[in-house]
Amino acid sequence: MKTATITPLHILSRTAAALLGGYCFVWGFTTLGIALAVTLGMSFGEARTLSYLLAFLLFTAVFCWAFATASLGRAWLLLAGGGAVMTLLGWLLAN
Amino acid sequence: MLQTFRQSMAWLHTWFGLVLGFVLMAVFFFGSLSVFDREIDRWALPETRFEPQPMPSYDNLLADVFPNMEAEEEELDAARKRIGGELPAQLQPVGWGAYTTHRDPVLDVFTEYSVPNPADPFDHVHGHLTLDPRNGTVLPHDRLKIGSEFFYPLHYSLHIQWQQLGTWIVGVAALIMLVALVSGVIIHRRLFRELFTFRPGKRTQRSSLDLHNLTGVVALPFHFIFALSGLTIFAFLYLPVGETVLTTPAQAHLMEEAVSRGLPFEPAGEPAPIASVDAMVMEAKKRWAERGMPGEVGFLWVTHPGDRNSFVSLFRAGSDRVAFVGQGVHFDAVSGRVLYEEPPPSVVAGINEFLTGLHLQHFEHWPLRWLYVLGGLLGCTCIATGFIFFTEKRKRNLKDAALVRRVDALAVTAVTGMVVAAGTILVANRLLPVALPHRGTWEEVVFWLAWLLAFAHAIWRGRAVPGSLSPAWREQCWAIALLAVTAVVLNWITTGDHLLKTLITERYWPVAGLDLALLASAAIAIRVAFLLRGRERATAFVDSQGSRALEVVRG
Amino acid sequence: MVESLLLALGVASGFIGMGWLALSMSQHWQQVRDTSLPPAKLLRALAAVALLTSLFLCLWVDHPSIAVLVWVMVISASAFLVAMLLAWRPRWLKPLVSWAH
């Protein structure tokens, strides 16, 4: 993508993908991570602490990635979509 | 987003760093002040200027305090709204607690009461008191502990309480701090080669970038770990998965834990007297000594006080290590026997305790505290030089003039304006009459007004000329110097604690330390003001030379 | 008292270590000495020894959890101080390398 084609709308969407999409992805990671760890025998408290420790490192990485990747559509799909799928899987696993 | 990875990261670093930089500036500065929050409290509350005290006797002192405490009026009002009716005259206490560190002369005691709310079985309200642990005297409620109750919450919540919005904003700022560090390392071309490089003689744009890189890189571990641990401390707020999508395993875990520990989950509903807590303290201290970690009680909590199922939890003050409290021993409150002694934390829990403890820093290590202040101020320098680089880089481009003026005014407000506000609250603290009702609230109002005034001044004096900074920087430096010296003098006049006394005759470091820090700030501010004036004159000279040369050419 | 002394030694060796590390780079060596090239490998090895000594002293004085923090912060503070000295008073760092040929 060239500099000339960066519109305010594109920046807004990119920011939303990084912040909200990234949040959704991290939420999914935390949910699925805890559910998986609990299934594998870790205590809930321990699994939650571990997920929290990793969550913000992951958020930093996906936030940067959302700005680095060429396709904005892919950023939205992977972050928001991936987050939703992981949340659903985690919820199914835990209930 | 842009053509190359590096360009995308540079864009991210520039614009997110700029926007959230204004928040981060406050977070870093008030975080640095919070390292000495208890000491600032002593300065602001002269009646509490005495030596730190250990946890007082429960049996002789706290036992008479807790039953007479009441929930805060504002919390009761909010609870009445929640349940849509009147509350019972006597609320059932859920817990009583006291917390102290090696730096606290006064003791914080707090209570929790259950609210009969059919919609939320865990609904509760809190009470809070500060008392002199030597005799139980209660400190008036409208005294503002400027360090621990104003600067410290400002550091993590910006005092925006609505829906905890302030804490969310600070959370986004901390995330952007991490992103800025990662992207900064990526876009920095000579990270190691220029690790020690600062060229003050170069033009402002270059030297400010040098200082930005230097302060960002040398304190990189500090910046990274503090931003990360700040986020993990509030992770329960930012990612409440256990309260939303994973309620089933979360509640199963709570029950399981309570059962395995043998600690009663619910009150029995039958009253029973509480045994000697002082004896429990003796027993806990004995157990800690046996584990090779003798210590004092830092945190005391009584669950379901006055009930047959009541239990007392004692936690060791972590003065000698990073984890701030721990090694909990839980006692049956009625019989006084040990119910459960917590085992050493697991690896994961240990890492978490380390991150939390290193950020909240209740350990006893004065050199490390000062190193933290330095780390925080390096962070402030990094952000401030980032602002200056941003504006300097764009000053030659007339198209950006409006943007440059706005950013410069905001930068003045965020840097010197913030220090002006902090100085003003200290001056207000010494000037406002002691008997003034809601005195603490007035101090806060004065703080925000001073900051607003600094903002107005920065806008009024703003300009965008390459190589010359807005005169607002210099003028606010003078304001800082004046306020800092005034605060020291007012402390002397109103309390009699001048530096000769607090340093030599009756040494009291909390007050002496803040007075010295204020004088040092004044000295730095005056030096900077003179440097800036020198630079303004030089630029004016160059300008006049330039226009004369132009006249000659035209002539 | 002994502990304060050991900690002070730890801080000093952290500072000396960062000083040597900086002076192993030719641009800083030339600020302090002359136009010659620094004995870079030797200075870097000395820096490593000094920094490890600093870590060892920090661990001696405090609980490991605190010692690690003290050491990391000492390194940061030293790097900043060395950079400031190089900017304003480079000659003050000369004693660190006056023994070199």
Q: How far is CA B340 from CA B259, B289, B361, B471, in A?
A: 11, 17, 27, 64
Q: Do B5 and A6 touch (CB under 8 A)?
A: no
Residue C101 lies in a domain: no
Average pLDDT, chain B: 92
Structure confidence at residue B543 (pLDDT):
65
Residue A1's pLDDT is: 43
If residue B389 lies in a helix (H) or strand (E), which one and from where to where?
helix B366-394
The Cα B228–Cα B181 span in angstroms is 11
pLDDT, tens digit, for every residue of B533-551?
A: 998 888 777 666 656 655 5
Residue A65, pLDDT > 50, answer: yes
Question: Residue type for B176, please?
Answer: I
Q: Work out the average pLDDT over B138-161.
A: 94
Contact (CB, 8 A) for B303 and B310: yes
Q: How far is CA B41 from the centre of its chain?
A: 13
Q: What is the pLDDT of residues B74-109, one digit of tens each?
A: 899 999 998 888 888 889 999 999 999 999 999 999
Cross-chain residue pair A14–B1, CB shorter than 8 Å:
yes
Chains touching C (3+ CB pairs < 8 Å): B
Handedness of CA B73, B76, B81, B85 (dihedral sign): negative
Domain count, chain C: 1
Kindly state the DSSP code that residue B87 receives in the 8-state scheme: P
- Reference A36, options A24, A47, A23, A25; nearest CA is A47
Mutate to test the interface with B, among A49, A72, A76 (most CBs of B within 10 A): A49
Reported as type and span, the H/E element at residue B130 is strand B124-131
Q: CB–CB of A30 and B257 under 8 A?
A: no
Contacts 24+ apart (CB under 8 A), B203-206: B203/B392, B203/B467, B204/B388, B204/B392, B204/B467, B204/B469, B205/B389, B205/B392, B205/B393
Q: What is the pLDDT of residue B555?
A: 46
Nearest residue on chain C to B350, alpha-carbon basis: C65
Contact map slice: B 211-230 vs C, CB within 8 A: 214-215, 218-219, 221-222
Q: Where are the domains of chain B?
A: 1-45+152-253, 52-151+254-360, 395-555
Residue C83 lies in a domain: yes
Sorted by where each begins, the domain ranges of chain A are 17-94
Is the pLDDT assigned to residue B333 strictly greater than 70? Answer: yes
Condensed to tens digits (0 to 9), the pLDDT of residues B384-396 reads 999 999 999 998 8
Question: For residue C79, which amino acid is it?
Answer: A
The complex's ipTM works out to: 0.95
Backbone angles phi, psi at B354, to 5 degrees: -65, -45
What is the share, in percent, of chain B residues with pLDDT greater than 90? 77
Instruction: Write out the residue range of the structural domain in which residue C29 sits.
Output: 2-96
Contact, B179 vs A60, CB < 8 A? yes
pLDDT of residue B494 exceeding 90, the answer is yes
Name B314's bridge partners. Answer: B300, B329
Beta-carbon separation of B323 and C65 below 8 A: yes
pLDDT band at C35; cut points 50, 70, 90: confident
Residue B134: other Cβ atoms inside 10 A? 14
H helix count then E strand count, chain B: 19, 7
Dump pLDDT digits (tens) for B252-289: 898 888 888 888 888 999 999 999 999 999 999 999 99
For B104, list phi and psi in degrees, rounded to 5.
-105, 110
Produce one character per residue of C20-42: b if its CB has 16 or more CB atoms within 10 Å, e if not.
Answer: bbbbbbeebbebbbeeeebbeee
Beta-sheet pairing, B325-332 with B338-341 = antiparallel
Does residue B172 carry a pLDDT above 60? yes
Q: Is the predicted pLDDT of residue B553 greater than 70, yes or no?
A: no
The nearest CA of chain B is from the CA of C70 a distance in Å of: 6
